[in-house]
Structure 1
Amino acid sequence: MKLFKANVTDVKAYEISQNNFECQTRRRSPHYQSSGGKPVHYAVCPACENPIQIIGLYTPAKHTEKPFGKHVTKTIRSLAKYDQQAYDYCPYASHKLSLNKNQKREKITDREKRILDQLIEHFDQVAYIFKEQTGIHLSKKLATDMLKAYKAAEGYLYQGANFLNVPWMFAYMSNNQKLWGRKIVNPELQELIKSANSNISFNENGVLTTKSYSDVNFWFTDHQRKNDANGDLIETMELVISESSKNIATKLIEFDHNFFQSLLHVSDEKRPRKDELVSLARSILEALL
């Protein structure tokens, strides 16, 4: 893997490099240790929060000049506790497990509580990513409906949920939502929907309407993960627009993990919906923490 966190309590992940690692760890234990008389360097997986060893930080590894992270299957004291189940479903694990929405952890642990806390405290940024990638404006009413559905579906327990994909797993686990009366901000998505059904139109504000009553909905399916030739994580899901029992349009959503990471430290002054949406998420989900 190319990213690391210094501690499980950190929100943001960083690219693995000598400078980033030294700045985030201060060159101190438990990140700097020795084993068999040789130096070893530890950090935290940004997805599953298991401990990882940084390979090639100061001496290049055999097959690459760039340092990288590799899971270690043991607890590193004062850094991270090893969680086998979290590793089994980590997108950076050495094996690949298929996923479906019914695969869930048995109960909430501190890990799931941190996922929920990140969703709550950055829910306005989750809403922004949702709008940018789906083309659907997340109004307060739609946000309320989706948060309640996510809670009822126990989306935070889904095995495919991790700290890199919080915005997308919120949407993925929010089940089927009505699209009639919602604002579509993406002109291309508007045209895609209109071309599929002449009964559907949009008013001057981009709100979906129909000539006669129509049960228009949206939902997400087919969560997929893989690594490209460069070792970068590629994660996708599919947005489906349906009318009654018929699917009328689909859109592939590719997760932009780096974009989400960049938003995590945006100043409050640049978060116009922070108070409104964070308070809303807290009112619905805080009891789970």
Structure 2
Amino acid sequence: MSQKILRTLIEQFDRVVYLLRKQTGIQFSRNLLRKMLETYRAEKGYLYIGATLLNVPWIFAYMSNSQSIVGQYLREDSDPDLILAIQDRAPNAMISDDRQICRKTKDFLSLAVCFIHHRESKDRDDGGLMESMKMVVSTDPDRWVHQKVIPFDHQEFQRLVQIHGEKARRQMDLVEMAKEVLGDLLS
């Protein structure tokens, strides 16, 4: 199963990134994505007991540990609560006109995102599996700026994986990056 999870993460990495960007509101630069891949590799995220072929995008984020988001851009459709929380609760942070997370002053700025509390439960209506995790933005481990529960949308991920041919708008540079970092783990 771990080999199938790795293969899916590598081959669908652009779609994984698309879903994470959409759900978090954070644009995740190529440099940050590479760091996340390296952390996922070091943590052996593909061996996590809760990892399945349906939850690849979210377990990738979950197993990438805390990552700095200073210098990252927020999407135009970002949660307004995230923007307000950064502006109000991170005293040395600001959001620039082009939506980049920056320092207000020359003082050091620590602002990171991590994903915690992976939860599985049964859907009360149809008995299917529901999964979620919590996204936390913090200035240090004890000072949370923003938190949001992120539901796993298994169907959307599967729908994206099924898009082929001309309809698929792929970012193969992201797939290549995943292959560079994780490819040698495939047997």
Please give the TM-score of this superposition, normalised by the length of structure 2. Answer: 0.90
| Aligned partner of 2:155 among 258, 280, 285 | 258
Alpha carbons 1:221, 1:239 under 8 Å: kept: yes
Structure 1 residue runs of 5 or longer lacking an equivalent are 1-110
**Aligned-pair identity (%):** 38
**What is the CA-CA distance between 1:227 and the residue it aligns to?**
0.4
Secondary structure at 2:162's aligned position in 1? coil
Query: What residue in structure 1 maps to residue 61 of structure 2?
Result: 171
**What is the CA-CA distance between 1:204 and the residue it aligns to?**
2.0
Query: What residue in structure 2 maps to residue 242 of structure 1?
Result: 138
| Aligned partner of 2:84 among 191, 207, 214 | 191
Whole-angstrom CA distance in 2 between matches of 1:181 and 1:270: 32
Larger RCO (CA within 8 A; separation ≥ 6): 2
Higher share in helix: 2
| Aligned partner of 1:201 among 94, 102, 124 | 94
Q: Encode CA deviations 1:151-190: one digit per residue, 9 max, x unaligned.
A: 0000000000001100000000001101100111115121
Please report the RMSD computed on the Cα atoms of aligned residues, expressed in angstroms.
Answer: 1.4
**What is the CA-CA distance between 1:142 and the residue it aligns to?**
1.2
Q: How many residues align?
A: 179
| Aligned partner of 2:2 among 79, 104, 112 | 112
**What is the CA-CA distance between 1:244 and the residue it aligns to?**
2.7
**What is the CA-CA distance between 1:196 and the residue it aligns to?**
2.0
Query: What residue in structure 1 maps to residue 45 of structure 2?
Result: 155
Structure label with greater radius of gyration = 1
Please give the TM-score of this superposition, normalised by the length of structure 1. Answer: 0.59
- Alpha carbons of structure 1 residues 271 and 198: separation in structure 2 relative to 1, 3 Å: farther
Which 10-residue stretch deviates more, 201-210 or 215-224?
A: 201-210
Structure 2 residue runs of 5 or longer lacking an equivalent are none
- The reply on whether 1:127 has 2:17 as its aligned counterpart is yes
Query: What residue in structure 1 maps to residue 127 of structure 2?
Result: 231
Matches within 5 A, 1:1-289: 111-185=1-75, 186-188=78-80, 189-212=82-105, 213-229=108-124, 230-245=126-141, 246-289=143-186
- Alpha carbons of structure 1 residues 273 and 137: separation in structure 2 relative to 1, 3 Å: farther
Alpha carbons 2:117, 2:133 under 8 Å: kept: yes
